[in-house]
Amino acid sequence: MEVNLAGLPFDRGGALLVKRALRHAAPQQTIIVTGQAADLPIHLRAWCRAEGHQFHPPGTIVKGNAHDDRWAGAERAGQPDSSAAGAVADHPSQRWGLAARGALVESGSPEFHFTLAHKLDVWASDAARLYAQAAAAQWDPATAIDWNTPINLPAEVEDAVVQVMTYLVENETAALQVPSRFIAQLHPHFREVMQLLAIQVADEARHIEVFTRRALLNRPVLGLSTAGGQESLKTLIDEPDFATASFLLSVLGEGTFLSLLWFLERNAPDPVTAAVCRLAAQDEARHVAFGMAHLRDHITAEPSLRATLMNAVRRRHDALRHTAGLNAEVFDALILLAAGSWDVADIERGHRQVIALTEEMHSARKKRLEKLQFTPEEAEDMSALHTRNFM
């Protein structure tokens, strides 16, 4: 086999042609390298020594076994397509590290320390489909919402919108922080879950942007943030277990928020408020879907997880029993938005609608809990113990 480099220097692309020839050569096969570059024999000698081949001047190479020896102990990190049988390992090796799933991982690669490294703890059978759906549904705040729409609300109605938007921002900030913390702990072998969590973080960042922007359209500052609300969200931030955090945030918290966002979309006093709530609700529905899919698989494989999750709800309730719950200003703002005016009959109707909202939230939580194999009685008790702060 002969490789003619002509005038191409070895260190400016010639090495690529020699490597190509060696890939197609058998061990101990001779390759003749010719070329016009004066320093070609020097480069060939040094390169062959590094690669484990024999070199005989001026340009004869005898292929060695260094490449085969180097990869003799390598292992395949599953298969790229998660739909293939056995593609996603139950316990991926820490030595696979950051390698793409399906890559051949060289022996001697460093061990990483990903704490979320068991399939049961993080995987969802719908992960690939949910990721594809999430990637296709991304929207741009600058173009998806007509920010130039005229808004001329009564001052107190505008103040109510600002207070609700302020409340949404701090809750969405918690919903961003929780998955962010777990992404770095997740073994990259579970890449669809890693990607889903990353998109979830991007969704929440976008929600924070649009809620803040709507709040500041006609006001120079945002509304109030209460200690009780902060305390409720802190319990989510502090939860160290992935399954429990997913349950409290995605299934209970964001599931409850879905009802709130659709309520706000229906009762929005202006098109911009309606649009930001509608778009955010569409994103939140995907977050709830992933939480449900993951926990459904996890509970099916490990029924004892149900007791862990029930205890987490009770523990959170006990930790928050002395807090005020939902910001009173937020509750009043919801009544005013549902009423649409200060007329006594309208306020009474608005109050009924907000109470109906809380009942709808309770009913929806129970349905989700029963889908996760909790009994109707367990679902009733757990939903009733959910934080009054909604999230």
Residue 377 near residue 389 (C-beta atoms within 8 A): no
Every domain of the chain and the residues it spans = 2-69, 73-112, 119-385
Is the bond leading into 271 cis (omega within 30 degrees of zero)? no
- pTM, rounded to two decimals: 0.86
For 275, residues 6+ apart whose C-beta sits below 8 A from its C-beta are: 144, 145, 146
CB 86 within 8 A of CB 78: yes
Quote the pLDDT of residue 52.
Answer: 85
pLDDT at 67: 67
Say which amino acid occupies 56: H
Q: Which two tokens stand for residue 142?
A: 């600058």
Q: How far apart are CA 139 and CA 287, in angstroms?
A: 16
Residue with tokens 């809750």: 171
pLDDT given for residue 78 in this prediction: 83
> Which CATH number describes the domain made up of 119-385?
1.10.620.20
Per-residue pLDDT of the chain (391 residues; tens, 9 = 90+): 899 999 999 999 999 999 999 988 988 999 999 999 999 999 999 998 888 889 999 999 998 887 667 777 889 998 888 877 778 999 999 999 999 999 999 988 999 999 999 999 999 999 999 999 999 999 999 999 999 999 999 999 999 999 999 999 999 999 999 999 999 999 999 999 999 999 999 999 999 999 999 999 999 999 999 999 999 999 999 999 999 999 999 999 999 999 999 999 999 999 999 999 999 999 999 999 999 999 999 999 999 999 999 999 999 999 999 887 788 999 999 999 999 999 999 999 999 999 999 999 999 999 999 999 999 999 999 999 999 899 9
- CATH architecture of the domain 2-69 equals 2-Layer Sandwich (3.30)
- Which two tokens mark 314? 């009770």
- Count of C-beta atoms within a 10 Å radius of residue 240: 10
At residue 159's C-alpha, the angle toward residues 264 and 345, to 5°, is 65
Q: Report how far apart, in Å, the C-alpha atoms of 202 and of each of 68, 71, 211 are.
A: 43, 39, 14
Please state, in angstroms and rounded to a whole number, the distance separating the CA atoms of residues 45 and 10: 11
List the structure tokens of 98. Answer: 């950051």
Q: Which residues contact 79 (CB under 8 A, 6 or more apart)?
A: 86, 87, 101, 102
pLDDT at 207: 98
Which two tokens mark 322?
Answer: 């002395």
